[in-house]
Structure 1
C-alpha cells in the first residue's frame, strides 16, 4: 500500500474501508434552561426544549470515518428496542454499514442521556447492562467481524466495557487482522487489556495506561513508563497515550518516544475525543501512513473534537483547514 495525498495535507484514503468493532451507544442530548432550584431537593429544575440524538461509542468512531470520506463497517450488537432502531437509521443516513447480531432479548441498546443547560452538562443518565453477553452473542459478533475484515484496509476495536468484547472474540479477531496484514487500532478498557495482543497500537489515556501498568499517573515520565511496561506485557507494536491538554505520547518498540503537543485552542468538552483519535489514526493507517504521521493527524482532529459540545464527527474539510492553518 503506497501512501498518497489528496491535497491540503490529508492522505488519499479514497476507496479505503475500515471495520469498527465494539459497543455502539446512543448519545441523547436534552437542552434546556435552568429557571430555579427544586423545592423537593437542592437540585436545578431544567425546562427541556430541544432534544438531539447522536451516535456514541463505536458508532461515533464509524460516524467519524464516514465523515472523513472512508467506507465504514460497524460490527456491533444492538438491542431490539427503539434506541437500537433509531441508531441504525442514523448510521444508515451517514453511510455506515452495520453487521452483527442483535443483543439478547431484554438487553437494551446502551443509552447515555446528557442534560445540558447554559452550555454545561447538568447530569448524565446511563441506561445499560455491562455484564458479559451470552456466549452465542459474543461468538456471533466474532464471526461477523471476521467476515467484515475481507477487503478491509484497517480495523478499529472500540471497547467501552459493556460486556460485548472479551476473550471470547478479541484474540481471534486481532490475530486474524495481523495475519491478513490489516493494521488494528484498539481504544482499550482496562479489564480486557490482556486480550489486545495482535493489535498494531492501543490508544489509552494517561489514567488508563497507568492503571494498566500499575503506576501512579503523577510520577515523572509516567506516560512513557506506562507505555514501555505495556509493550513488555502485550503483543502490540506501539502505545499511543493521550494526555488531554498536553497532547499525546507515542511509545514504540525499539524507538525513542515521540511527544506530540496538543493543538486545541480551547478545550470545551472531551466527550468523544478518544473516538475521533481512534478513527483518524485508523484512517491514516488504512491510507498507508506510518504510526507517527497517523498520530499527528489524529492529534489535529482531536483539537477540533474537544472544541465542541458532546460527541461529534470531524469531517475532512474541517481537518484539512486545521492542517492548512498550522503549516
Structure 2
C-alpha cells in the first residue's frame, strides 16, 4: 500500500498537536511501499514500528504491537501487545491502548483509555449472518437497529444497521429500511418501498414502490467535457401525517435537506428533486415533476402533470391548473395556469384568443 506522507501531513495539519509532531519528523516526499523489512523494533517495549511513524521517545510499544506508516504517537502513549495502529492514525499523549486493539482512520485524544479488543475506524462490512428474524411479522433486522417492540416487520422486509422504528410502525413485504433511517410512530410503509438517508415522521403512509433518500440528479462538466457527479450528501425529511403515493421518488439533498411539510399529500408517480422544500398541507397530484432546489409554501395545490423549473419559489396558497409549467417565481397567492404559468384569468384570455384566431383561420 503506497503512502504519500506529505499528503498525510496536510490532512492532519489542522490539529495543533499533530502539527508539532509532523514538524519534528523527517518526512520523505516519496511514496513508500510497506514490507515487513521496513519495520523496526521500538526501543521501549519491543513492538514494531515503521520509520515514517512519528513517535515520542517516551511512548511504550509492547511486544507484538505494530505501528504503521505515518502514525503519530504522543508522549507517554502506551500500545498494548497485539494492538495495531494503522496508517496515519494519531494517538494523543498519555493514552493507553489495550491488547488486540485495532485502530484505523481515526484520531485519539489525550489521556484516553481504549480497552482490550476495541476496533475503531474500520470499514463496516455487513453480512447476512448478522441479521436476525423479527418476532412480529418475520422480517429481518440488524441488531444495531433500534426498533419498538410493537413494530410489525413483514416477511421479506429488511431493516439495516442503525435504523430507528417507532411504536406501531408497519413495514410491508419487500421494503428496505436503510442504515440510520428514522421512522416515526404509527407510520405505514408499503410493499417494496426503499428508504435511505431520510427521516420519516409520525402517522405517515408511504405507498408501494416509493423511493426516498436516493441521490439527486446533479452533474457538472469538467474541462475535458466529461460528466462528473456532484456530491449528494444530505437527507430527505418527511413531516408528520404525510401521505406519499405509489412509485413516487423523493431525492436526498445536496446543499440543503429535501423537506416535505406536515399534512402534505402526494399522489402516485410524482418526482421531487434534491433540495426541494415543500410546506405544510400541500397537495401534489399525479405525474407532477418538481426540479431541484424549488421552495414551495404552505397550502399549495399542484394539479396533474404540473412541472416546476429548478430554483423557483412558489408562495403559500397558490393553486396551479393541470399541465401548467412554472418557469419563474410566483409571489402572490391565487390560481395560475398555462405554459408558462400566469394568473388564471390571463391564461383563460390567452386560450380564448387562440380559439378565436383558429376559427378565423378555418373560415
TM-score by length of 2: 0.22
TM-score by length of 1: 0.24
Higher relative contact order (CA 8 A, sep 6+): 1
Larger Rg: 2
